[in-house]
Structure 1
Amino acid sequence: MNILVLGGGGREHAIAWSLAKSPRTDKLYVAPGNGGTADIARNVPDLAVEDGRAVLAFVEEHDVQLVVIGPEAPLVAGVADELREAGIAVFGPDAQGAQLEGSKTFSKRFMDAHGIPTARYGSFDDLEAALGYLSALEAPVVVKADGLAAGKGVIVAEDKETAEEAVRSCFDGAFGQAGSTVVIEECLTGPECSLLAFVSGGKAHCMATAQDHKRAFDGDRGPNTGGMGVYSPVPIVTADELAAMHEIMEQSAAATATDFANDYRGVLYGGFMLTPEGPKVLEFNARFGDPETQVVLPRLEADLVDIVLAVAEGRPDDIELRWSEQWAVCVVLASEGYPGAYEKGKVILGIEEAEELEGVTVFHAGTARNADGELVTAGGRVLNVVALGDSFDDAREKAYEACNLINFEGKQYRTDIGKKAAAGREAWN
């Protein structure tokens, strides 16, 4: 079949790479795509991926039978609604389901209504009311822009002054319309863990666990980013915690079938905190995680086309997941200055040499070709260097060996991805 993937980051490169391995895939399109997807699919750089009518027109013109939506913005914009109404199989929830990510207030109310364990919170569209609520709390607290902010709208404030500054910055437009409503939460403690699930027909088929590194710099210092590295599985998760997370994801999937007008068909991403009281949900996302996808899909031993088509067509009982016993570690190579201002157009060298290492795959996140055909940087997060290994340490060592073979001006990356987990659960005490 002909398949269209919407998105242009490392997640979409990993999705396209996995779909391309299926014998069921004929023509594969990625819109807009990047320098890496161009090697395995036809990029469609000019398609407006948040415009449902434009996407539908492309689908009809190119006889596309399946659309896989990578990022959250097209989901919130209702692209899946437009495609489904036209009878196209689409992997991704409709606009209502996507509000689990599109609005943190919507998501928290959903959790409250269904008894899903999460942090205590308040939601405000008025500055003075938000500051009044904040004054009654003890630090640390978490301040979140309600809407989509590309993974950067969450501020963990260690003191009241920082929290007040974060609230004011939201209302002053630091995150645009996304910050017009602000959610203030108690700060949960413990390690974080992501558990994604394929959801269809109110049923959840959970994937392998993964643990992202959000902070920009070593030692979990610096501002939050879209993710600087990740690994799978997560060795510090106990059997009881894993069972509890599975139960929460199944409970949440069942709730989508009762709360939402249409069947939720796509990925439900559970971001968890492993608190002393048990796992609690920090957030839900309505799509594959980035960069979690880059370590989860390389460990998937089932045919991704079979899976996403079963989800898209509402056949949850036909989903079968099998996972490799190998470990996967991903290190993100970023542009100098990220997540702040950065320059583009830096020539990238060494990817072919890195991929000659056994078990190493490089997924492109922010790359493009310049007028001379050279691969250059085109974003903040540039490359996702992924290594599979027979042990956690083996995968980590391979990933960093590969990172050292890749070069571009201003290359920055964390040198401690997975180091804390390798030291054991006590590293969080």
Structure 2
Amino acid sequence: MRVLVVGSGGREHAICWKLAQSPKVTELFCAPGNGGIAQVATCVDVKATDVPGMVAWAKEHHMDFVMVAPDDPLAMGMVDALEEAGIPAFGPRANAAIIEASKAFSKELMAKYHIPTAAYATFTELDKALAYIEEQGAPIVVKADGLALGKGVVVASTVEEAKQAATEMMADKKFGESGSTVVIEECMVGPEVTVLAFADGKHVVPMPASQDHKRAFDGNQGPNTGGMGAISPPPQYTPEMAKQCMEEIFQPTIDALQAEGRPFHGVIYFGLMLTPKGPRVVEYNARFGDPECQVVLSLLDTDLMDVLQACVDGTLDQLDIQWKKEAGCVLVLASGGYPLDYKKGYPISGLEEAGKTSVVFHAGTALKDGQYVTNGGRVLGVTTTAPTLEEAIANAYEAGKHISFTDMHFRTDIGHAF
């Protein structure tokens, strides 16, 4: 099969790395890809958000299957457009991807189908949002309704901070039109875990749980990022909890989308808070999380191509997906200043040595004159698996010691922050 993966980050590198191991995949392409992805796939110069361009390229080059990985093209209807062109595509259609593209939609869905989540209210007028914040008090959570590169959520510890966040989103258009509507939620407490799951419209198969580390600095301090590292499985997520989540959250969500005429085919991301009252949904994503994807796919024993096809075909219940009986860790090496201002173009050294004991996924790199250089905020994901979680974490840090670039920044407490 000739397979195209859409995207350019560490998530897409992990997907390409796994698909390259499939005997079914004879040729692998990635658009636009990055320096590291070029090791396992042919990179194609088409922007991930260029829906007509991507469809035209896939048709012209006779792609047998396309895997759409990022949120924006899913929300824009890339899967719909590929299917209309007669090309099988993995990922939810736009009417199901709205579960991530609109937080207001997802909250309304959960309320209608009694899926446990935080109490909330939705606003399109700033003065009413500010009055609600004043009435509710703090801590409180303010979310931009639309896609905001994972940065449209503010957990405000004071009323003033919450009001500022709402004003920046709604009046100052910090996230463009994504902030025209805001969702304001009660602040839930407890450890957060991620459960990614494969879905084929009717059936849902959870992957091993993982735990992302969103804050930029140790001790969960600093601004929110796209993720500074992840572990799998998190010790707080017990088998009993997994059963409860399957019965109360995972299957009911897929059933709800089906009932609404929005069958979900693809990977659905359940961001969960393990509260004293039980698991609650923090957010949904309509695709693999990053960096969780890197650690979870490292634990997958089944041919990923088989799983992707089953999700598209609606035959997930006929596939026995196997996972390694191991634990994993991904350590993100980021540019100094990320997620705010940072510089690009610094040479990266030590990749070959680190690669002897880990898989180094490239998130923000470019290949210039035979030398890998930094080309983004999150640069690399050093990923390891081991019989125990402690070993996997130690191995990731040990491998990461070999890598260096100017102003390299990473957290030293991945797996120990919760």
TM exceeding 0.5: yes
Alignment partner, residue 189 of structure 2: 189
* Equivalence map 1:267-346=2 (5 Å): 267-346=267-346
Alignment partner, residue 222 of structure 1: 222
CA–CA distance in 1 between the matches of 2:319 and 2:261? 22
Mean Cα deviation higher: 316-325 or 142-151:
316-325
CA–CA distance in 2 between the matches of 1:341 and 1:125? 30
Alignment partner, residue 364 of structure 1: 362
8 Å contact 1:152–1:224 — kept in the other structure? Answer: yes
- 1:265 matched to 2:262? The reply is no
**Identity percentage over the alignment?**
49
Alignment partner, residue 177 of structure 2: 177
The residue identity in structure 2 corresponding to 1:204 is: V
Alignment partner, residue 117 of structure 2: 118
Kindly state the Cα deviation for residue 63 of structure 1 after the two structures are TM-superposed: 1.2
CA–CA distance in 2 between the matches of 1:388 and 1:158? 37
The residue identity in structure 1 corresponding to 2:235 is: P
Kindly state the Cα deviation for residue 234 of structure 1 after the two structures are TM-superposed: 1.2
CA–CA distance in 2 between the matches of 1:244 and 1:297? 24
8 Å contact 1:201–1:315 — kept in the other structure? Answer: no
Kindly state the Cα deviation for residue 317 of structure 1 after the two structures are TM-superposed: 2.3
Question: Any idea what SS the aligned residue of 1:375 has?
Answer: strand
8 Å contact 1:84–1:90 — kept in the other structure? Answer: yes
Selected match of 1:375 from 372, 388, 407: 372
Kindly state the Cα deviation for residue 314 of structure 1 after the two structures are TM-superposed: 2.2
Cα distance per residue 1:208-244 (max 9 Å; x no partner):
1000000000000001110000011111212321111
CA–CA distance in 2 between the matches of 1:281 and 1:274? 9
- 1:105 matched to 2:104? The reply is yes
CA–CA distance in 2 between the matches of 1:367 and 1:51? 21
* Equivalence map 1:238-257=2 (5 Å): 238-247=238-247, 248-257=249-258
CA–CA distance in 1 between the matches of 2:345 and 2:52? 32
* Equivalence map 1:59-70=2 (5 Å): 59-70=58-69
Kindly state the Cα deviation for residue 48 of structure 1 after the two structures are TM-superposed: 3.0
- 1:402 matched to 2:402? The reply is no
Alignment partner, residue 144 of structure 2: 145
Cα distance per residue 1:147-195 (max 9 Å; x no partner):
1111111111011111111111112111122111111100000000111
Alignment partner, residue 52 of structure 2: 53
8 Å contact 1:202–1:256 — kept in the other structure? Answer: no
The residue identity in structure 1 corresponding to 2:348 is: I
8 Å contact 2:220–2:417 — kept in the other structure? Answer: no
How much is the aligned-residue C-alpha RMSD, in angstroms? 1.0
Mean Cα deviation higher: 57-66 or 273-282:
57-66
Cα distance per residue 1:318-349 (max 9 Å; x no partner):
33211111110011000010000100000001
CA–CA distance in 1 between the matches of 2:212 and 2:333? 14
Structure 2's unaligned 5+ residue stretches are none
Cα distance per residue 1:377-423 (max 9 Å; x no partner):
000000001111111111111100111110000100000000135xx
CA–CA distance in 2 between the matches of 1:35 and 1:11? 14
CA–CA distance in 2 between the matches of 1:259 and 1:157? 33
Alignment partner, residue 198 of structure 1: 198
The residue identity in structure 2 corresponding to 1:288 is: F
Question: Any idea what SS the aligned residue of 2:417 has?
Answer: helix
The residue identity in structure 2 corresponding to 1:369 is: L
The residue identity in structure 2 corresponding to 1:92 is: G
8 Å contact 1:52–1:80 — kept in the other structure? Answer: no
CA–CA distance in 2 between the matches of 1:298 and 1:22? 14
CA–CA distance in 1 between the matches of 2:238 and 2:388? 18
Structure 1's unaligned 5+ residue stretches are 422-429
Kindly state the Cα deviation for residue 285 of structure 1 after the two structures are TM-superposed: 0.4
- 1:414 matched to 2:415? The reply is no
8 Å contact 2:90–2:312 — kept in the other structure? Answer: yes
Mean Cα deviation higher: 195-204 or 327-336:
195-204
CA–CA distance in 1 between the matches of 2:15 and 2:319? 17
Cα distance per residue 1:350-398 (max 9 Å; x no partner):
01100112xx10000000012x221000000000011111111111111
Kindly state the Cα deviation for residue 98 of structure 1 after the two structures are TM-superposed: 0.6
Alignment partner, residue 156 of structure 2: 157
8 Å contact 2:59–2:85 — kept in the other structure? Answer: no
Cα distance per residue 1:116-145 (max 9 Å; x no partner):
000011111111010011111121001111
Cα distance per residue 1:9-61 (max 9 Å; x no partner):
0000000000000000011000110111000000012x132233221211111
The residue identity in structure 2 corresponding to 1:332 is: V
Alignment partner, residue 90 of structure 1: 89
CA–CA distance in 1 between the matches of 2:354 and 2:370? 20
Kindly state the Cα deviation for residue 89 of structure 1 after the two structures are TM-superposed: 1.1
CA–CA distance in 2 between the matches of 1:319 and 1:10? 27
8 Å contact 1:232–1:296 — kept in the other structure? Answer: yes
Number of paired residues? 416
8 Å contact 2:117–2:281 — kept in the other structure? Answer: yes
8 Å contact 1:195–1:245 — kept in the other structure? Answer: no
The residue identity in structure 2 corresponding to 1:143 is: V
Kindly state the Cα deviation for residue 101 of structure 1 after the two structures are TM-superposed: 0.3
CA–CA distance in 1 between the matches of 2:47 and 2:383? 29
CA–CA distance in 2 between the matches of 1:147 and 1:252? 19
TM-score by length of structure 2 reads 0.98
Alignment partner, residue 427 of structure 1: none
Runs of 4+ with >6 A deviation: none
